[in-house]
Amino acid sequence: MRRHPALPPRRAALVLLMVGAGLSSALAHGPTPQKIEADVTIAAPPDAVWAVAGRFGDVAAWNPLVASGKSTGTGTKNGDTRTLTLKNGGILHESLDEYDAAQRSYSYRLDDPDLKALPVSSYSATLTVTPDGTGSKVAWFGRFYRGDTGNEPPEELSDAAGRAAMKAYFETGLAGLKAKVEGNGAGTKAGAVR
């Protein structure tokens, strides 16, 4: 069996430095996808809920965090867009990816991030209305990446900040939808967020 000679100290230090650099870059990673799910039960038939929630461009009519909105197209075709101005001054530009009136569901995505609006770099979301006893269940699912996609984001652009902002946006929106459809101005807390 042939033995390899020991590396000279200077070369050994260089090898350790290279291995250490490779290890630290292997341990460093970018952002991981985050997920938020929220739901609410509404005391109204699914078609009545869909008549309000299913209008892609009209989210300002029921989400209290949205000051105003405008849309292009009918809000029922892939590529239709909406621009939402939030009460915090941020602006969201979103595009409709899939609209299914028969299933009372639509999916959309963020086109241009605005970290003032929501501290996330991108997201896609789906809103669905399904029967639930004599009423309806509205579920809102979202996947997103934090606002700063670097390895060490500041706290206000971290995964936790993104989750908190998306959770508040979804829960407040669903509570507003419930209040609008049920006809009570105060609204109630939305269902569990996972």
Q: Give this prediction's pTM.
A: 0.79
What is the structure's pLDDT at 148? 87
Lowest mean per-residue pLDDT among 16-25, 74-83, 99-108: 16-25
Cβ-in-10-Å burial (0-12, 13-18, 19+) of 40 comes to buried
List, for residues 16-69, the tens digit of each pLDDT value.
Answer: 444 444 444 445 566 789 999 999 999 999 999 999 999 999 999 999 999 999
Q: Can you tell me the distance from the alpha carbon of 31 to that of 146, in angstroms, rounded to the nearest whole number?
A: 7
Average pLDDT over residues 143-160: 90
What is the structure's pLDDT at 5? 57
Backbone angles phi, psi at 173, to 5 degrees: -60, -45
Report whether pLDDT(87) > 50.
yes
Per CATH, the homologous superfamily of domain 30-182 is START domain (3.30.530.20)
55 Rama class: left (phi>0) / alpha (psi -120 to 50) / beta: beta
- For the chain, the structural domain boundaries read 30-182
